[in-house]
Structure 1
Amino acid sequence: MKLKTIIEKAGKVCKTPTAFFTANRQEKGMKEAMQYMFVLGFLFSLLTVTMNALLAGKKAFATYQNLVLFVLGAQLVLAYLFLIILFFVEAGLVHLFARLFGGKATYKDTYRIIIYGDTPSLLFGWIPVLGILAFVYSIYIHIVGVRIFHRLSRGMASLAVLLSVLIMLSALVMVMRLQGAPEIGIAIT
């Protein structure tokens, strides 16, 4: 897939998701979506690792230069592999819930919804604060895609996507807790 095609698709997904998914129903298989994901996923992984390095500061880099370069390289590879796996899992969850709610599309269709729907997160998710807004917009785009491909009402499509997001965020929090991250909670006074 040419870079120009990827840029055009990214623009269409972000600007007019309904029109994009309506036209995208003609796309068959997962090849184009996977090529799209490989490019944007690598870009996202590279920018995320770069942002982490910048946040670590110059002193850490100067003191442990060789180790930092090794860790950053490992982070890049692991982030990219994790992203690839994450897309398949996310598509599986969304597909499961969409089908439970009467959805008609195939897993391949759902996978394309997830890949293209994550465009805002892949382009802007590495930027502090803006990444949160991109994540929310990606959820909206997923809902649009599920509604169109699975022929569900907006409410059922929203439920399928939001339940999947809830499960994935819960799994993320559990993994973080297992790794010793502090508890996430809200203090009520």
Structure 2
Amino acid sequence: MIESIISKVKGFILNPVEAFQQSKKDDVNEVFIYFGVLLVVYSVLVAIMSVIGFGGVMPGGQSIVMVLISSLLGTLILTLVFAVWLHLWVYLLGGKNGIMATIKSVIYASTPELLLGWLPVIGLIFSLWSIVLGILGLRELQDISTSKAVIVYVIAVLIPVILLVMVAAFFMISFMSITETMA
């Protein structure tokens, strides 16, 4: 099993299009075992980095177990929610291969981010590479064009970002008006 996971990791890093084509017939268990192994590795590394002072958590501020559990659960939930949200847009733009194809795309595309995204500063490069892989994965697993896959990702990412900016602006304006009236 470990050899299979290592082989998949190499494929998604070095030859992603072929790896996605080969993964079309992967069953649900295989996909989630792969994700589970990478998720545990990622969460352990995030927990270690946060305890030694990287990742925005001060040393001693949280126990390594709490960071580990938070990372495991948070990443799992966010990945699945993002996959469902992404699939909505895939479906609306013509993807007809089902939600599992989108979930496979999201999980397999997260390979670089889960393995190296925890690194301070350079982890951003691997997160961006995961987005590129996600686009390739949608193209291959949902049988849609590259341009449609890009549009799906842009819409799926842009809408939540715009909403977050609007909420942040609302709170900032509210805070400023409250402090102004108190002065």
Q: Give 2:87's aligned amino acid.
A: H
Work out the CA distance in 2 between the residues paired with 1:159 and 1:71. Answer: 41
Q: Which residue of 2 aligns with 1:143?
A: 135
Q: Give 1:101's aligned amino acid.
A: L
Q: Which residue of 1 aligns with 2:149?
A: 157
Q: Give 1:132's aligned amino acid.
A: L
Work out the CA distance in 2 between the residues paired with 1:3 and 1:121. Answer: 19
Question: Within 5 Å, which residues of 2 pair with 1:62-141?
Answer: 68=61, 71-141=63-133
Q: Secondary structure at the match of 2:107?
A: helix
Work out the CA distance in 2 between the residues paired with 1:173 and 1:137. Answer: 24
Work out the CA distance in 1 between the residues paired with 2:135 and 2:123. Answer: 19
Shift of 1:115: 0.6
Number of corresponding residues: 169
Shift of 1:169: 4.7
Q: Secondary structure at the match of 1:103?
A: coil
Any conservation in 1 of the 2:138–2:144 contact (CA below 8 Å)? yes
Q: Which residue of 1 aligns with 2:45?
A: 47
Shift of 1:152: 1.2
Cα distance, 1:174–1:45 mapped onto 2, change above 3 Å: farther
- The percentage of counterpart residues that share the same residue type is 30
Work out the CA distance in 1 between the residues paired with 2:34 and 2:162. Answer: 28
Shift of 1:175: 9.0
Q: Which residue of 1 aligns with 2:175?
A: none
Which runs of no fewer than 5 residues in structure 2 stay unpaired?
173-183
Q: Which residue of 1 aligns with 2:14?
A: 15
Backbone CA RMSD of aligned residues: 2.5
Q: Secondary structure at the match of 1:25?
A: helix
Greater relative CO (CA pairs within 8 A, separation 6+): 1
Q: Give 1:43's aligned amino acid.
A: V
Q: Give 1:17's aligned amino acid.
A: P
Q: Secondary structure at the match of 1:55?
A: coil
Q: Secondary structure at the match of 2:119?
A: coil
TM-score (ref. length: structure 1)? 0.80
Residues 15-40 of structure 1 show CA distances to partners (whole Å, capped at 9, x for unaligned) of 11110111111223x21111111111
Q: Which residue of 2 aligns with 1:34?
A: 32
Which runs of no fewer than 5 residues in structure 1 stay unpaired?
181-189
Shift of 1:168: 4.9
Work out the CA distance in 1 between the residues paired with 2:50 and 2:102. Answer: 31
Q: Secondary structure at the match of 1:128?
A: coil
Q: Give 2:19's aligned amino acid.
A: F
Q: Give 1:157's aligned amino acid.
A: A
Q: Secondary structure at the match of 1:136?
A: helix
TM-score (ref. length: structure 2)? 0.82
Work out the CA distance in 2 between the residues paired with 1:165 and 1:92. Answer: 13
